[in-house]
Each structure stands twice: as C-alpha cells, then as structure tokens.
Amino acid sequence: MLKKNIGLISLAFLVFFSESLTAKVFFWDGRDGQRYYSDQDPKGIEANEMPLTGDTFYSVIKVYDGDTVLLGNRLKVRLLSINTPEIERYNKPEEAGGESAREGLVALLAGQKVRLELDVERQDKYGRTLAHLFTTSGLHLNLEMVKRGWATVSLHPPNLKYSAPMLLAQQWAQSEHIALWGMNEYQPKVIADGLAKRSYGWQRLIGMVRAATLKRKYAYLSIDSGELMIRIPRANLSFFPDVMTYLDKKVEIRGWVSRRGKGRSVLVRHPSALLIR
C-alpha cells in the first residue's frame, strides 16, 4: 500500500497504522519533493521506518545531546517540552551543563529501548520528530531529565501533554538547587545591571514591566527602560492572564535573548517562562 503525503489521505493512512501495534510504516522523500509512505519496505529506495505510538519500542543508537536522540530506524527525535544546554559543536563552546545532560541521558538509556508518545505537532522546523520518550522499564525520560535538573521545561503550545507534572518536577529541582539550578550561569540576572553584549543559551532575567502593547502578531512587554522586550505570540495569549496584569510587576523571564534591530527581545510562548516575582 502506497500513499502520498497529501491532505486527508496521508493523515488517515498514518492514523490507521499508528493504531496497529505490529504494523510498520516506511517513509521516503521522492525526487518530486513529496513524502511517500508504505506499509512495505520499498525495494531499491533508501527509506526510513516511522516510529509508531503504542507498544512499539525502538533502540536508541545515538544521543546527540540531552534532548535529541537517533533511533535505530534512523529517525531523529527531539524530546518534547524540555531544553538542555548545548554541547560543544560547530566551533561553538559547550554551554554550562551541556555535557552532563548528555551523559545523564545516556545513563538513563543504558540497556533500554524507548516508545514514543506524540502530541499535537509531530515535527519541529528541523524535521525532527517531537515526542515524549518512555523506556521499557516505564521511565518517562523527558520528566526524569527535568527531575534530575539536567533539563528545564520549555513549553510550546499546543504541545502541552504532561506539562503539569513536568512543571512540578522543575519547581522541586529548582528548590533543591539540583544540577543546572545550582550553577552560577543559570542564576537570575538583573536586567538593570546591564545585559551582556553577546548572549548565549537559556537565561533567567529579572526586570520590571513598564509598558504593554498589543499588535497584530505579538503582545509586547517593555522591561525597565526598554532594555529588553518580551514578545508573546497573539495565538498563545489564551494561555496567559491579561497582559495588563504584568504592568509594574517584577518578573522573571526565562528563555533566549535575541537581537531585533538595535534592541533585545525574548520570545515567550507560555506563562511558565514569565513569572511574577
């Protein structure tokens, strides 16, 4: 059976096989740029086996870092709703705790296979499969990485499965100063004291919200004297309180600082990354 990746035909095809615990689905990209699926391994074509939900377990053949792995079917998987520091690669230095997070995930995977649980969005912009991973012993790897302080929670609506236990686990790890939470690099920095000229990696920043503006794509919160701008996608505002409730409040912003023209900004997708202090 062969299906092309178009519309409801492709969706129904994948749903049918994702409900089967024994079937396999193979996929490959054709020369026409379309993705194709089949329940049989095509001859003479380099195809990948697609991970299915349910009781199908897969070997992990490579751990890239603390939140990305490669399965035995050659599919790259990004662990949903968490973030770990980057390891040294592409001539960029390791972020504090990056190698510890990778080694921690390797240890948790020792002697284990994994099954996948998907959420609303199936892939990220890099083509990686987004999933919660569970080992043969029943360990929820995404949650365990947060519990052990090797990862922080990074929620991207509409993917909110397991968000409540993961946020509770992060709260506990932070209160106990475990791993990342005990490192100087991840302690809150006061924005009024000055932002670093070049910022790398996930940060915690403290400042006062002085203005709030609602525009076509984003709600903007101006911090202190405009040193930093928070951008909240309008599509995500339903997860937040009224943005005006942040006015004149001291907040902790969690995320990545980027340059936008002459200014700096942080994209905040979920209120767990914008805490009133």
> Which residues belong to the active site?
78, 86, 128
Residues forming a β-bridge with 117: 132
What are the Cα distances from residue 57, in Å, to 51, 70, 71, 145, 212?
9, 13, 10, 20, 48
CA distance 227 to 174: 27
Hey, is 141 helix, strand or coil?
helix
Q: Which single residue is written with the structure tokens 């001859």?
A: 43
Using CA atoms, how far apart are residues 120 and 131, in angstroms rounded to an integer? Answer: 10
d(CA 101, CA 155): 19
Instruction: Please name the residue that has the structure tokens 């600082």.
Output: 257
The answer to whether the CB of 212 falls within 8 A of the CB of 246 is yes
Identity of the amino acid at 70: L
Of residues 65, 61, 156, the one with CA closest to residue 112: 61
Q: Could you give the residue ranges of the DSSP H alpha helices within the chain?
A: 7-18, 98-109, 141-147, 163-175
Q: In the chain, what is the greatest distance between 2 CA atoms, to the nearest angstrom? A: 64
Q: Which two tokens stand for residue 95?
A: 């972020």
Give the amino acid at 228: L
